[in-house]
Chains A and B, each alone.
Chain A
């Protein structure tokens, strides 16, 4: 089993390669996340993009080559294509190489997904800052550990695991802060638990990502990640 620390080291090493890619040059939100959870997701995105680029480039090269070489106008008058039934070796090659590429992708996918997946088991008590998230048409309510409630504004401390307890009062919503990490659905029939690790100080945009009705587009909230002291002050306000 890969420990998380080791995985992070591995990620940093692999960083150099995919950053060469065009995409990471731009300032794309979900590739430059501000939490450890988000970084792990961004790593997977970069890794998968890198592996998949190999596939795209191969197909493009073959397609352009064959189209250029075997176009009618490029062939002599009497050229008659030879009938080829197939080729076991070639076909095995393009079966096995994708299997290997996907295996390379599957291992970190499984490792990271396994501990990042939102769970419904409320018994799994975790160390960290707990925040209750209540979604309803069309607003968010955040309830902190000392019962402090605020609507549409989420304040959390930096450098700690934040454990969200999410549920909905009506339809399904989805809780998403793109700059921090991935989303998790807010369900009416059960409470889900989702963890975001070590957010960095800053203000971010939160959104509802699951279509929930007429004001879905405006069901947004503000996120403030503050220092631990400021968070304490905020709770006592």
Chain B
């Protein structure tokens, strides 16, 4: 559609116009609601908060909004691929390339990661008896960095310059020679800014878990979700640093004419190495927290402690460790040679062993238990077989010579959706249903929850099971069209129907949220008959927790205290605990980086410099102004 404004006529694709209209109307409605209900103070409260539950809630909320956007991308992809030689809306050529790029990038960086970090933010301090994360200010900063990066990335589409280099951004296609213009810069800076935020949150979680456990909460007594958070955070620390370096080099290649990844001195394979040294551990960064969530949920609803706790912890660590030794299995076809191809095949197979240990330990946790099929438990039960199916195709892909056939086909697409959806997405939903009382004080509707689960699970398998065959029939990924004689018509059609079924499942979930908050009841501190410390504090968790501080004598201490009828022992001896006081600085700091990114993307150097000045000014202000100064030396409740 051609739009003209102030005498300038510009072609604007209809999907961009539709998105503008939708966003403006939705934004206006939300604004009216906020003003009518006098919610502006609430907005300000969340804008300045450094409390772990509120930051966690924002992580989950915005993660979910981006999840919805990337989900719509997925439905657009599936609509275009529904039938051969299709011409759905504008989803061909560059539009299709943009939509699979934004789908992948948003799902990984701006949906799955923040929702997991949100759940960790909410649950980890409560599970280990910490009053907040170790550095509340840094926590808010980490969140706002993610928010800035994500918004920056998403804005690209509204300006009709969405990146189209794939979420992997392979060089040399992603260098300015082949993708000039701002589009790819949106990818580089969006992921970079939110990545730095993620590193901050990971650091924060590590320090919190090492330093702020309740008395007696030894590492060997810690709930498995907290263990998963600890190991995940160490993975993030290394992986996202490597990604940061890679994006930094790519930024130099694009902006300042260096040639790390192209030309005579550069090497496009270097980008792939760096990207996958980040990218493979990233898979475990997404999966391990989900493993932790499922471990806690399965024990709670089997009324039985985890089978083989030491093995569960060791296998988490082993998966994390081996996760760094397999990255080249994404690169079997780039000519690394026979030695590398066989070495990385074997290390990849080895990862199946600790993963298998976990699967069987979960199964044997249920054996002899008393299983109640609540919504979180259903998600956990759906996870086990689905994840095993994704795991075995992972082993099949590790067979390098077979990988020459599988690589870059829909078989790979099916594989990684199987592992990521079954672990991360089912895990996030399980975690949201499980901890919803702790976050909001309400319990989500169980009937709708179960409907959500079944629709989603069926839709998920319907989409991705046939996709294995699509790939084995010879359909490469990232193509927007196929021919009738390619023999992939039926499987593609089934995949499309399944995808829309998942979409309906998400609508059911939204309906559940609305229904819960309009007709739901508040619940008590321990609605699930839980085992771990988070169920000892009120629902929703107050800003002031663990006063007096419980003393832990065994793992699942709360459960055994309930069983023996005696309350948990407590102590009034205060340990130094983090103080969370509101501050607007984190949001401003992240916003200043947003300005820098905009400046560099459009080579408006004055803007970039302005943003940089703002950033360092805030750092200086923060150096001299401490929002917590007034409460130093006294307990928060002595104020």
Whether chains A and B associate is yes
On A, residues with C-beta under 8 Å from B are: 23, 26, 28-31, 38, 40-42, 44-45, 48-49, 52-53, 55-56, 59-60, 62-63, 66-67, 70-72, 75, 79-87, 90-91, 94-95, 98-99, 102, 105-106, 109-110, 112-120, 170-172, 174, 176, 178-179, 181-185, 187-190, 192, 205, 207-218
Since A102-B350, A109-B342, A182-B402 are in contact, a sample of 6 more A-B pairs with Cβ atoms closer than 8 Å, ordered by chain A residue number, is: A48-B402, A52-B396, A60-B385, A110-B346, A117-B338, A217-B479
Of the listed stretches B249-257, B364-372, B498-506, chain A binds B364-372
In whole Å, how far is A61's beta carbon from the nearest beta carbon of chain B? Answer: 10
List, in ascending order, chain B residues with CB within 8 A of A38's CB: 405
The 8 lowest CB-CB distance pairs between A and B, nearest first, are: A182-B404, A178-B474, A86-B308, A217-B479, A52-B392, A117-B338, A211-B478, A113-B400
In whole Å, how far is A85's beta carbon from the nearest beta carbon of chain B? Answer: 7
User: Which of B93, B333, B385 is the one whose CB lies under 8 Å from A174?
Assistant: B333
User: Which of B262, B405, B477 is the one whose CB lies under 8 Å from A178?
Assistant: B405
**Bound: A45/B372 CA distance, A:** 39
List, in ascending order, chain A residues with CB within 8 A of B486's CB: 205
Q: Cβ of A211 and Cβ of B396 under 8 Å apart?
A: no
Q: Cβ of B345 and Cβ of A113 under 8 Å apart?
A: yes
| Most chain B beta-carbon contacts within 10 A, residue among A113, A213, A214 | A113
List, in ascending order, chain A residues with CB within 8 A of B346's CB: 106, 109-110
Q: Cβ of A187 and Cβ of B335 under 8 Å apart?
A: yes
List, in ascending order, chain B residues with CB within 8 A of A44's CB: 399, 401-402
List, in ascending order, chain A residues with CB within 8 A of B405's CB: 30, 38, 41-42, 45, 178, 181-183
List, in ascending order, chain A residues with CB within 8 A of B408's CB: 174, 183, 209-211
8 pairs from A and B in contact (CB 8 Å cutoff): A41-B401, A42-B405, A48-B399, A52-B395, A82-B368, A85-B308, A94-B360, A182-B402
Q: Cβ of B359 and Cβ of A41 under 8 Å apart?
A: no
List, in ascending order, chain A residues with CB within 8 A of B360's CB: 62, 90-91, 94
Within 8 A of A (CB), among B107-127: none
Q: Cβ of A72 and Cβ of B372 under 8 Å apart?
A: yes
Q: Cβ of A106 and Cβ of B363 under 8 Å apart?
A: no
List, in ascending order, chain A residues with CB within 8 A of B33's CB: none
Q: Cβ of B364 and Cβ of A79 under 8 Å apart?
A: no
List, in ascending order, chain A residues with CB within 8 A of B406's CB: 45
Q: Cβ of A72 and Cβ of B370 under 8 Å apart?
A: yes
Q: Is B325 an interface residue (CB 8 A)?
A: no
List, in ascending order, chain B residues with CB within 8 A of A212's CB: 173
**Bound: A82/B472 CA distance, A:** 47
**Bound: A69/B456 CA distance, A:** 26
Q: Cβ of A75 and Cβ of B356 under 8 Å apart?
A: no
List, in ascending order, chain A residues with CB within 8 A of B341's CB: 113-114, 117
Nearest-neighbor residue (CB-CB) of B165 within chain A: A211
Nearest-neighbor residue (CB-CB) of A94 within chain B: B360
User: Which of B338, B357, B473, B477 is the one whose CB lies under 8 Å from A113?
Assistant: B338
Q: Is B633 an interface residue (CB 8 A)?
A: no
List, in ascending order, chain A residues with CB within 8 A of B308's CB: 85-87, 91
List, in ascending order, chain A residues with CB within 8 A of B372's CB: 72
Q: Cβ of B262 and Cβ of A188 under 8 Å apart?
A: yes
User: Which of A66, A109, A172 is the one whose CB lies under 8 Å from B173?
Assistant: A172
User: Which of A29, A52, A91, A99 is the one whose CB lies under 8 Å from B361?
Assistant: A91
List, in ascending order, chain B residues with CB within 8 A of A23's CB: 469
Q: Is B274 an interface residue (CB 8 A)?
A: no
Q: Cβ of A79 and Cβ of B404 under 8 Å apart?
A: no
In whole Å, how far is B305's beta carbon from the nearest beta carbon of chain A? Answer: 5
**Bound: A213/B341 CA distance, A:** 27
**Bound: A41/B411 CA distance, A:** 15
A170-B363 contact, Cβ under 8 Å, with A72-B371, A190-B335: no
Q: Cβ of B404 and Cβ of A181 under 8 Å apart?
A: yes
**Bound: A175/B486 CA distance, A:** 17
List, in ascending order, chain A residues with CB within 8 A of B1's CB: none
Nearest-neighbor residue (CB-CB) of B334 within chain A: A185
List, in ascending order, chain B residues with CB within 8 A of A67's CB: 366, 371, 381
In whole Å, how far is B273's beta carbon from the nearest beta carbon of chain A? Answer: 14
Q: Is B619 an interface residue (CB 8 A)?
A: no
List, in ascending order, chain A residues with CB within 8 A of B173's CB: 171-172, 211-213
User: Which of A40, A102, A209 is the one whose CB lies under 8 Å from B395?
Assistant: A102
A214-B97 contact, Cβ under 8 Å, with A70-B302, A70-B368, A185-B335: yes
**Bound: A183/B476 CA distance, A:** 11
Per-position binary interface string of chain B over residues 270-295, scored 1 when its CB falls under 8 Å from any chain A CB and 0 otherwise: 00000000000000000000000000
Q: Cβ of A48 and Cβ of B396 under 8 Å apart?
A: yes
List, in ascending order, chain B residues with CB within 8 A of A72's CB: 370-373
User: Which of B266, B267, B407 is the one whose CB lies under 8 Å from A183?
Assistant: B407
Q: Cβ of B367 and Cβ of A66 under 8 Å apart?
A: yes
In whole Å, how far is B529's beta carbon from the nearest beta carbon of chain A? Answer: 12
Q: Is B349 an interface residue (CB 8 A)?
A: yes
User: Which of A29, A81, A211 is the one whose CB lies under 8 Å from B473?
Assistant: A29
Nearest-neighbor residue (CB-CB) of B358 within chain A: A94
**Bound: A80/B477 CA distance, A:** 51
Q: Cβ of B302 and Cβ of A81 under 8 Å apart?
A: yes
In whole Å, how far is A126's beta carbon from the nearest beta carbon of chain B? Answer: 14
Q: Cβ of A214 and Cβ of B476 under 8 Å apart?
A: no
**Bound: A29/B476 CA distance, A:** 13
In whole Å, how far is B332's beta carbon from the nearest beta carbon of chain A? Answer: 8
Nearest-neighbor residue (CB-CB) of B177 within chain A: A170
User: Which of B345, B350, B363 is the one whose CB lies under 8 Å from A59?
Assistant: B363
**Bound: A90/B302 CA distance, A:** 20
**Bound: A140/B548 CA distance, A:** 73
Within 8 A of A (CB), among B337-395: 337-338, 341-342, 345-346, 349-350, 352-353, 356-357, 359-361, 363-364, 366-373, 381, 384-385, 388-389, 392-393, 395
Q: Is B310 an interface residue (CB 8 A)?
A: yes
Q: Is B543 an interface residue (CB 8 A)?
A: no
User: Which of B385, B400, B474 is the one whose CB lies under 8 Å from A29?
Assistant: B474
Q: Cβ of A70 and Cβ of B367 under 8 Å apart?
A: yes
Q: Is B170 an interface residue (CB 8 A)?
A: yes
Q: Cβ of A55 and Cβ of B404 under 8 Å apart?
A: no
**Bound: A110/B346 CA distance, A:** 8
In whole Å, how far is B374's beta carbon from the nearest beta carbon of chain A? Answer: 10
Q: Cβ of B342 and Cβ of A84 under 8 Å apart?
A: no
List, in ascending order, chain A residues with CB within 8 A of B307's CB: 84-87
List, in ascending order, chain B residues with CB within 8 A of A29's CB: 472-474, 487
A211-B170 contact, Cβ under 8 Å, with A71-B373, A82-B368, A113-B341: yes
Q: Cβ of B333 and Cβ of A182 under 8 Å apart?
A: yes
Nearest-neighbor residue (CB-CB) of B387 within chain A: A59
Q: Is B34 an interface residue (CB 8 A)?
A: no
Within 8 A of A (CB), among B31-74: none
Q: Cβ of B350 and Cβ of A87 under 8 Å apart?
A: no
Nearest-neighbor residue (CB-CB) of A212 within chain B: B173
Nearest-neighbor residue (CB-CB) of B349 within chain A: A102
List, in ascending order, chain B residues with CB within 8 A of A49's CB: 396
